[in-house]
């Protein structure tokens, strides 16, 4: 179980968040979480009884860090703000940051989706040369394999997004 001291340290370090709808005044963001961190997150969640526990994460390829929080309480933009990334940042301009969603079940976290990409593919009005460039740089310019240590299946899901992107580009021609 996470201790009060750890919560205070994390609160000071990450300028913790307040999400009025959650009924909770702080959200713990774990950096490069261990299996016990994931267990603590589930235990302290408002809805810790869920069989399938959903997480939001941000992978920072510049620092090789993964930041994870309970998706019940926090959005990616709130996490970015709390972590000191520019609040008006757009991942179109920061391709070394990867925001994803994972599930935690059976003692393991596994990647499920990349929200920004799914919006890009399904909603054509978001398509632009700049966005194509950002997606391509995020997918191909960085080595993301290290994320698998924290979020299982990351590389295989990323590979599936590479295939989706190839098909998307081919269809645009």
CB 56, CB 99: distance < 8 Å: yes
Residue 64 is predicted with a pLDDT of: 95
User: Pairing mode, if any, of strands 97-105 and 53-60?
Assistant: antiparallel
Residue 33 is predicted with a pLDDT of: 87
Residue 129 is predicted with a pLDDT of: 75
Residue 153 is predicted with a pLDDT of: 94
Whole-prediction pTM: 0.77
Residue 150 is predicted with a pLDDT of: 94
Residue 12 is predicted with a pLDDT of: 53
Closest-CA residue to 117 (of 129, 135, 91, 140): 135
CA pair distance 127, 71, nearest whole angstrom: 27
Residue 163 is predicted with a pLDDT of: 92
Residue 89 is predicted with a pLDDT of: 47
pLDDT tens, N- to C-terminus, the chain (173 residues): 444 455 555 555 554 443 434 444 456 788 898 888 887 777 766 555 555 578 889 999 999 999 988 877 777 777 887 787 765 445 446 888 898 999 888 778 899 988 778 777 766 665 677 778 888 888 999 999 999 999 999 999 999 999 988 888 888 77
CA pair distance 65, 48, nearest whole angstrom: 25
Residue 63 is predicted with a pLDDT of: 92
Residue 65 is predicted with a pLDDT of: 93
Can you give the chain as a three-state secondary structure string? CCCHHHHHHHHHHHCCCCEHHHCECCCCCEECCCHHHHHHHHHHCCCCCCCCEEEEEEEECCCCEEEEEECCCCCHHHHHHHCCCCCCCCCCCCCCEEEEEEEEECCEEEEEECHHHHHHHHCHHHCCHHHHHHHHHHHHCCCCHHHHHCCECHHHHHHHHHHHHHHHHHHHC
């Amino acid at each position: 179980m996470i201790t009060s001291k750890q919560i205070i340290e994390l609160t000071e370090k990450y300028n913790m968040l307040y999400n009025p709808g959650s009924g909770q005044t702080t959200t713990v963001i774990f950096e490069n979480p261990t299996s016990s961190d994931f267990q603590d997150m589930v235990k302290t969640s408002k809805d810790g009884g869920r069989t399938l526990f959903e997480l939001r994460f941000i992978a920072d390829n510049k620092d090789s860090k993964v930041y994870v929080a309970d998706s019940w309480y926090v959005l990616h933009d709130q996490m970015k703000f709390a972590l000191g990334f520019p609040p008006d940042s757009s991942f179109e301009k920061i391709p070394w940051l990867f925001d994803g969603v994972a599930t935690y079940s059976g003692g393991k976290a596994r990647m499920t989706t990349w929200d920004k990409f799914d919006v890009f593919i399904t909603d054509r009005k978001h398509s632009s040369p700049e966005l194509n460039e950002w997606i391509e740089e995020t997918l191909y310019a960085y080595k993301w394999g290290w994320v698998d240590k924290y979020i299982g299946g990351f590389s295989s899901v990323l590979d599936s997004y590479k295939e989706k992107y190839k098909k998307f580009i081919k269809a645009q021609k």
